[in-house]
A and B are shown apart, each in its own frame.
Chain A
Amino acid sequence: MPAMSATTPHTIVDSRGSACPGPITDLALAYRRAKAGDVIELWATDPGVKADVRAWAAKTRNEVVSVQDQDGKIVSVLRIVHR
């Protein structure tokens, strides 16, 4: 897996305050515009997002880099490898 660098295209998707299935829908919409190699960072507050991003990534064959609680939000980092 290549290291993430400052040059990696990095899209932040802010879904804070959006209830399920809002966050994964926002992720899907960002995925539509993404290219292979892009990194998408999803911010959410709905607790279901932790399992949902893993399910979404498995289904769409993309990679979950990390899912972490951070300053009152859940930050999921995904690498788009499959388009």
Chain B
Amino acid sequence: MATAIEKVQAAATAAGLVPQSDKLSIIMFSGTADKFIPLGVLAQAAAAMGVEVNIFVTGFALRGFTKQKQELPFPAEFAAMAPALAKGMQQVHVASWDAMLRQAKDLGAKVYTCSMMSSVMGLKKEDFNDLVDDVVGAAAFLQIAEHGQSLFI
């Protein structure tokens, strides 16, 4: 039997108030190490739930996707907490952000880098590592993201 919440959800879906498409888009902008953890966790969790996941990498986040590995800095205000965080994550066996993203990709997630910011940083398609599926423009990504849920990190 449907609960009150399920009835409301069904009515909202019928009324077109809920996006029909089961899609999550993550716009990854930040270039600090802490922000890459939710990227990995949410991308992997959504992909595991059968949700279509598309990630648009732009701005300083591009640094995490180059073949030439770059150390991602910690934001200055949390730098003092970084060692404790790393230790805690190791204790509970949290996977690295790129391992989580790789798992998400195995489940179908796609990663796109922003063509404009790539050019600004002097990065070409061949400079990106194998996590990146393609280099696209903003309009192309907005079309991919249309009618889905979007997060900006």
Chain A interface residues toward B at CB < 8 A: 17-22, 24-25, 27-29, 46, 52, 55-56, 59-60
Interface residues in B74-118 (C-beta closer than 8 Å to A): 89, 92-95, 100, 103, 107
Binding-face segment, B45-53, B128-136, B139-147: B45-53
Contact B44 A21 (CB under 8 A): yes
C-alpha spacing A60/B95, complex, angstroms: 24
Where the two chains meet, the residues of B that have a C-beta atom closer than 8 Å to any C-beta of A are 41, 44-45, 47-51, 89, 92-95, 100, 103, 107
B95 and A19 within 8 A (CB): yes
Can you list 23 contacts pairing A with B, beta carbon distance less than 8 Å? A17-B93, A19-B89, A19-B93, A19-B94, A19-B95, A20-B41, A21-B41, A21-B45, A22-B95, A24-B45, A24-B49, A25-B44, A25-B103, A25-B107, A27-B48, A28-B48, A28-B49, A28-B50, A52-B45, A56-B49, A59-B49, A59-B50, A59-B51
The secondary structure that dominates the A interface is: helix
Residues of B within 8 A of A21 (CB): 41, 44-45, 48, 100
List 6 tightest A-B contacts by C-beta distance, closest first: A21-B45, A28-B48, A25-B48, A19-B94, A59-B49, A19-B92
Contact B49 A60 (CB under 8 A): yes
Residues in A whose Cβ lies below 8 Å from that of B50: 28, 59-60
Expressed in whole angstroms, the Cα–Cα distance for A20 and B92 within the complex equals 9
A19 to B100, CA, bound (A): 11
Residue of B nearest to A26 (CB): B48
> Closest residue to A28 on the B side, CB-wise?
B48
Q: How far is the CB of B42 from chain A (nearest CB, A)?
A: 8
- Write out the residue numbers on chain B whose beta carbons fall within 8 Å of the beta carbon of A19: 89, 92-95
Cβ-defined contact, B95 with A28, below 8 A: no
**Chain A residues within 8 Å of B107, by CB:** 25, 28-29
A56 contacts B92, C-beta separation under 8 Å: no
Return chain B residues, CB-CB under 8 Å to A56. 48-49
With A17-B93, A60-B50 already in contact, 19 other A-B pairs whose C-beta atoms are closer than 8 Å: A18-B93, A19-B89, A19-B93, A19-B95, A20-B45, A21-B41, A21-B44, A22-B95, A24-B45, A24-B49, A25-B44, A25-B47, A25-B48, A27-B48, A28-B47, A28-B48, A29-B107, A46-B92, A59-B50
